[in-house]
Amino acid sequence: MRFRRGPILVAEDDPATLDGLTEFLSEFGYTVVPARNGQEAMDRLLKGLMPSLLILDISMPAVDGEELSRYLQSDPELRLIPILVVTGSPERMGKIAADAVLEKPIDLISLLALVKRLTTGRPDREPARHSPKK
């Protein structure tokens, strides 16, 4: 197994959730780059950030999770970034291609297990995605 290098990019518009995820993952040795919405996450990616994982909320202002997911899928390198959707609105998954989905409220044990699996358990290749709804 290869370890994916790079920080975890967290795109979440709720400040308490963003701070909580950042602090929790940092306590386990992960480097976290917070983004307050999808536009901020997209800007970081455009500036060359190559995260090992994107933790993505669906409902965000400016650029939502679905639009950010489409952007990643359109780029041959960025499409290899695993996506963990963390949402309070699973019915809004729509066309988001995700490697895993975790519903809010977030179970921290499940979160940690998914983060570990998605950052260490998959070689660099086309990720197996949950099929988006057509």
State pLDDT tens for residues 53-101.
999 999 888 888 889 999 999 999 999 999 999 988 777 777 788 899 9
| In-domain check, residue 1 | no
Domain count, the chain: 1
| In-domain check, residue 33 | yes
Q: Give 130: exposed, middle or buried? Use CB within 10 Å, 0-12, 13-18, 19+.
A: middle
| pLDDT tens digits for range 7-41 | 999 999 999 999 999 999 999 999 999 999 999 99
| In-domain check, residue 115 | yes
Yes or no: say if 33 and 21 are a contact pair by the CB < 8 Å rule.
no
52 has a pLDDT exceeding 70: yes
Range of the domain at 54: 8-88+110-120
Position 131 confidence tier, pLDDT thresholds 50, 70, 90:
very low
Higher pLDDT, 86 or 2: 86
Position 133 confidence tier, pLDDT thresholds 50, 70, 90:
very low
| In-domain check, residue 93 | no
Across-strand partners of 86?
A: 102
Residue type, 134: K
Which CATH number is 68's domain given?
A: 3.40.50.2300
